[in-house]
């Protein structure tokens, strides 16, 4: 039953009741009126059932499940065993939830702190085992096999559903969904050939950024094009050997800075967002997140409004990370979405009343969302493979720079078995009275000079 039919049915029953009861209410009604009242009651039940069927149909179309409230003691299944799953399990375990993860690595970061099913992500039997052992299932990364996501949605409770995954796994679908929610994105064009790229570049103007429509992260799968002579090389770089490539050409936005907002929406529709983080990248990898972001408060409020508009408009459940460009004239353009906890939200672990990981657990279990207030200014700095040993050694001795600057350094290590240059191995949250002091701490150590 469609929304229009339900609405019409509700209005019809309401009109019948008014006609039957008049101004005298229930007293003095005739037998015919009493029978009419009983019929109206039955109609209300039918309309109520129709409304529930309509909601169920709408949920099915959106690819999400009807809301359930899961209290501590329930088991949360995590598809993926990386650091985001690990930190989610640590936060949720403190609340009283149990966890089980599915990951192909035998000693995954999440598997070190919670039971794990060791199998490939596209292993259907392993997915069924995860469904059997969990009361609710979530994912810690968005490149989930579509077949497995659909299977889990059929055999278990997956409040995030599969529709948002389908949308955010493909940049063209993602941009169309952002625009449909009334939120601005940078001008872009679909590219399927070198001829398309040449025409799109002439249309948008250079410089531009060429990206794969699927996959790619931390700068992988993209190339900046500054002049016409770079078009062919960029095309070959981003789509090596692809017979029919799916690419996106984005106009290069001259931005003042990059910010991100983590927004949460519970299964029943409650929405809250965290304070915006100002993000600084080095070699296309997030280096620093600065909170409060160094932009006007009005712009911060507008960024939160856009993120909340998106998380509600997309019917997301759980967290949605919304990355944005801030232009010199104060305009905001959404760059990318991530339907999960996000690197730029790690500052919340020590600096907010509620962390992003606790908030995600609350959202998927349909608990009231937590307070997102910032307790203290903070700078999050990523610890990559080349920084790991130095970061660990620093924690074992008195930090004179931190004491002098009034900074408290909180180290988080992810438990990855192999440390590589450029690989995220942990992060440090620098709690401070002024973010300038935390940035001075980063500058005065030698860890991030390589």
Q: Are 249 and 193 within 8 A, CB to CB?
A: no
Weakest-pLDDT range from 51-60, 152-161, 165-174, 429-438: 51-60
- Cα distance between residue 287 and residue 240, in whole Å: 29
Token pair recorded at residue 335: 């760059």
| Residue 265: strand, helix, or coil | strand
pLDDT value at position 54? 44
pTM: 0.84
What are residue 282's phi and psi, to 5 degrees?
Answer: -130, 125
Token pair recorded at residue 49: 């059932």
- Cα distance between residue 211 and residue 115, in whole Å: 37
Nearest to 77, CA basis, from 163, 145, 146, 155 = 155
pLDDT value at position 284? 87
What are residue 374's phi and psi, to 5 degrees?
Answer: -85, 125
Query: Residue 427 belongs to what H/E stretch?
Result: strand 424-431
Cis? peptide before 292, omega within 30° of 0 = yes
The pairs formed by 116-120 with CB atoms below 8 angstroms and a separation of 24 or more are 116/81
pLDDT tens by residue, 267-309: 999 999 999 999 999 998 999 999 999 999 999 999 999 999 9
What does the DSSP assignment read for 228-294?
GGGHHHHHHHHSTT-SS--EEEEEPP-EEEEEEEEEEE-TT--EEEPPPEEEEEETTEEEEEEES-S
Q: Is pLDDT at 183 greater than 90 in this prediction?
A: yes
- Cα distance between residue 26 and residue 20, in whole Å: 9
CA 287 to chain centre: 19
- Cα distance between residue 76 and residue 364, in whole Å: 9
Mean pLDDT over residues 235-257, rounded?
A: 89
- Confidence band for 175, pLDDT divided at 50, 70 and 90: very high
Q: What is the mean pLDDT of the chain?
A: 87
Q: Are 55 and 48 within 8 A, CB to CB?
A: no
* 135: number of Cβ within 10 Å: 18
- Cα distance between residue 104 and residue 15, in whole Å: 60
Token pair recorded at residue 278: 């100002």
Token pair recorded at residue 68: 């359930």
pLDDT tens by residue, 383-409: 999 999 999 999 999 999 999 999 999
Weakest-pLDDT range from 160-164, 259-263, 363-367, 370-374: 160-164
pLDDT value at position 216? 65
Q: Are 278 and 237 within 8 A, CB to CB?
A: no
pLDDT value at position 56? 44
């Amino acid at each position: 039953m469609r929304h229009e039919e339900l609405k019409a049915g509700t209005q019809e029953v309401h009109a019948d009741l008014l006609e039957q009861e008049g101004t005298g209410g229930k007293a003095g009604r005739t037998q015919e009126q009493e029978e009419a009242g009983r019929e109206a009651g039955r109609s209300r039940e039918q309309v109520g059932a129709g409304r529930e069927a309509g909601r169920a149909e709408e949920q099915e179309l959106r690819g999400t499940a009807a809301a359930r409230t899961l209290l501590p003691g329930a088991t949360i299944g995590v598809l993926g065993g990386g650091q985001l799953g690990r930190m989610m399990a640590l936060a949720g375990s403190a609340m009283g939830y149990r966890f089980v993860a599915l990951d192909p690595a035998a000693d995954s970061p999440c598997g070190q702190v919670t039971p794990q099913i060791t199998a490939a992500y596209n292993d259907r039997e392993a997915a069924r085992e995860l469904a059997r052992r969990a009361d609710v299932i979530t994912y810690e990364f968005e490149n989930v096999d579509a077949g497995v996501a659909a299977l889990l949605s059929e055999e278990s409770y997956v409040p995030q559903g599969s529709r948002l995954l389908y949308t955010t796994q493909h940049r063209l679908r993602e941009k169309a969904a952002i625009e449909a929610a009334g939120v601005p994105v940078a001008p872009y064009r679909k590219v399927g050939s070198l001829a398309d790229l040449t025409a799109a570049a002439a249309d948008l103007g250079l410089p531009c950024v060429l990206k794969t429509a699927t996959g790619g992260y931390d700068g992988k799968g993209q190339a900046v094009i500054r002049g016409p002579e770079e078009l062919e090389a960029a095309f070959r770089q981003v789509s090596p050997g692809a017979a029919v490539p799916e690419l996106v050409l984005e106009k290069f936005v001259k931005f003042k800075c990059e910010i991100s907002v983590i927004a949460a929406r519970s299964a029943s529709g409650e929405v809250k967002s965290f304070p915006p983080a100002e993000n600084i990248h080095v070699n296309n990898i997030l280096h620093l997140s600065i909170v409060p972001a160094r932009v006007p408060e009005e712009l911060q409020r507008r960024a939160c409004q856009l993120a909340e508009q998106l998380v509600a408009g997309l019917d997301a459940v759980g967290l949605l990370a919304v990355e944005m460009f801030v232009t010199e004239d104060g305009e905001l353009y959404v760059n990318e979405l991530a339907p999960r906890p996000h690197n730029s939200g790690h500052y919340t672990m020590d600096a907010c009343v509620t962390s992003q990981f606790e908030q995600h657990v609350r959202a998927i279990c349909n608990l009231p969302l937590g307070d997102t207030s910032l307790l203290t200014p903070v700078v999050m700095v990523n610890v990559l493979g080349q920084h790991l040993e130095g970061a660990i050694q620093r924690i074992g001795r008195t930090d004179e720079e931190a004491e002098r600057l009034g900074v408290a350094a909180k180290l988080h290590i992810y438990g990855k078995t192999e440390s590589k240059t450029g690989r995220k191995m942990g992060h440090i949250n620098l709690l401070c009275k002024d973010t300038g002091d935390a940035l001075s701490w980063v500058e005065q150590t030698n860890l991030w000079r390589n």
